Amino acid sequence: MSSSQHAGRVIIVTGLSGSGKSIAIRQLEDSGYYCIDNLPSDFLSSVVRDLSGHGCERIAISVDARSQLNLSAAQLELQGLKAEGYDVRVLFLTASTPELVQRFSETRRRHPLTIVNGSTLSLSEAIGREREILEPVAQISFVIDTTRMLPNTLRDAVQEFAEIETSNMMLAFESFAFKHGIPVVADLVFDVRNLPNPYYDRALRDLTGLDAPVAEFLNRSETAQRMIDDIAGFLSRWISSYEAQNRHYLTIAIGCTGGQHRSVYVAERLAALFRPRMMTVVRHRQLARKGLLKPQSALQGDGAAVGSSS
C-alpha cells in the first residue's frame, strides 16, 4: 500500500503503570476501536496489517514498559506503519510518583517492574525505573498527566484525542493552578499571576475564565492583552523549531494561582489564535477537577472552543 493511501487509524496507548491505560483502552473500545491490551511491541506491524486485512479501520493497542524494552525496534515498527499510510498516534499517560504510589497502595497491586533481573525494587524505585525506560516514548507522544484527574475527565480527553484530524503539529494549551504544582507534561510554562485577578471582584469570584464577565474584565486589561500577544509571538517564532525535531505534540501550560480565571482565559485566547493555523486542544485542570467546565465558552465569539477536560 502506498503512503498516499489512507490505511486506517492506529492509536498506541502507553505510559506508566497505574496512570489510567485501562480506562483509555476501554474508552477507545466504546468509541468503536478494535482494542488489544498489552501487545508485545515486536508484533505491532503484523497485528495491525492482519486486522486491517479483515476490515478493521480503527485499531487501538496498549503497550507497557515490559514490551517496550527494545524501543528502537518499536519506533521502526511505527515508522513503517506510517510509511504505509496508517494514521499512527501515540498516547502516553503519566502521573506524579506520589499519585502512583497512592493508587498502587489503594488497589494493593504489585508494580510490574517490582522484580527486575532478579532484584526486588521498592514501589517508588519501580516507578522511577519505568519512567526512565519510557522517557524516549514520551518525547514522541501526546502526553496526558492524570494526576488528580477524575476517570470521566480522562475518558473525555481520550475521546477528543481519538477524534482530532491528522496534523503535523498539535498544540495543547493547559491551564493549571500553581498552588497544586506545575503539570508533569508541560513542555513550556507561562506564569500569568501578574495579570489583574478577577477573584478579588466579588461578582466574578465564583465564575471562571470561560464566563463572559470574566473575559470582559480581562479584555479591558492592557497588561493581559500584551501578555497574550507576547506569548503568541514567542510560540509563533519557535514552533517551527519543535517541528524540525519531529515533535508532533507540544503542551503549553498556562498557570495562575487557582487555575480558575486568568490561566483559563489566556489558554482559551491562545488556542483561538492558533486554531486557524494548526490543530489545538484546550484542557483546564482545575475546572475539570471542580466540575466547573461548561458546555459553551464565553470566548467563542473570538473563535475559541470549549476546553476539553483533563
Higher pLDDT, residue 245 or 250: 250
Rounded-to-integer distance, Cα 15 and Cα 41, Å: 14
Q: Is 80 part of any domain?
A: yes
- Residues 252-290: pLDDT tens digits? 999 999 999 999 999 999 999 999 888 888 999 888 777
Query: pLDDT digit string (tens) for 230-243?
Result: 999 999 999 988 88
Would you say residue 240 lies in a domain?
yes
The reply to whether 190 falls in a domain is: yes
Assess whether 19 and 153 both reside in one domain: yes
Q: Angle at which helices 212-219 and 222-244 pack, to 10 degrees?
A: 90
Residue after which a domain boundary falls, among 138, 163, 188: 163
Query: What is the CB-side half-sphere exposure of residue 219 using CA atoms within 13 A?
Result: 14
Whether residue 146 sits in one domain with residue 14: yes
Asked whether the predicted pLDDT for residue 306 surpasses 60, the reply is: no
Same domain, 255 and 190: yes
Q: Give the burial class of 55: count Cβ atoms within 10 A of its Cβ; 0-12 exposed, 13-18 middle, 19 or more buried.
A: exposed
Query: Does one domain contain both 120 and 52?
Result: yes
pLDDT at 67: 62
d(CA 79, CA 100): 31
Q: What share of the chain is helix, strand, coil (3-state, %, to 5)?
A: 45, 20, 35
Q: Which domain holds residue 25?
A: 9-163
Same domain, 142 and 244: no
Among 142, 163, 184, where does a domain finish? 163
pLDDT bin (cut points 50, 70, 90) of residue 110 is confident
As a whole number of Å, the CA-based R_g of the chain is: 20
186 inside domain: yes
Last residue of a domain, one of 146, 163, 180: 163
Asked if 59 and 147 sit in the same domain, the reply is yes
Judge if 145 and 248 occupy the same domain.
Answer: no
Query: How many angstroms separate the CA atoms of 78 and 12, rounded?
Result: 9
Mean pLDDT across the chain: 85
pLDDT for 3 equals 39
Do 159 and 181 fall within a single domain?
no
Q: Are residues 148 and 273 in the same domain?
A: no
- On whether both 27 and 147 belong to a single domain, the answer is yes
What gap in Å lies between CA 146 and CA 92, rounded to an integer?
10
**What span, in angstroms and rounded, lies between the C-alpha atoms of 173 and 208?**
16
**Residue 217's closest CA among 289, 272, 266, 274?**
266
Sign, CA dihedral 207-208-212-214, equals positive
pLDDT for 74 equals: 73
Domain-located, residue 1:
no
From 263, 277, 310, select the one nearest 169 (Cα to Cα). 277
* Assigned domain for 222 exists: yes
DSSP run (H or E) holding 172: strand 170-177
Residue 65 lies in a domain: yes
Name the band, by pLDDT with cuts 50, 70 and 90, for residue 167.
low
One domain, residues 130 and 204: no
Q: Which long-range contacts (CB under 8 A, 24 or more apart) does 293-302 make?
A: 293/210, 294/208, 294/210, 294/211, 297/210, 297/268, 298/209, 298/210, 298/211, 298/212, 298/213, 298/214, 298/215, 299/210, 299/215, 299/265, 299/268, 299/269, 299/272, 302/269, 302/272
CATH number where 27 lies: 3.40.50.300
- The grid coordinates of residue 65 equal 514498559
Cβ burial, residue 62 (10 Å; 0-12/13-18/19+): buried
pLDDT-derived band at 226 (thresholds 50, 70, 90) equals very high
Residue 134 burial (CB count, 10 A): 22
Asked if residue 55 and residue 18 are part of one domain, the reply reads yes
Residue whose C-alpha is closest to residue 93's, from 36, 171, 169, 11: 11
- Number of domains the chain is built from: 2
Phi, psi angle pair for 279, to nearest 5°: -70, 130
User: Within a domain: residue 2?
Assistant: no
Judge whether 209 and 260 are in contact, CB under 8 Å.
yes
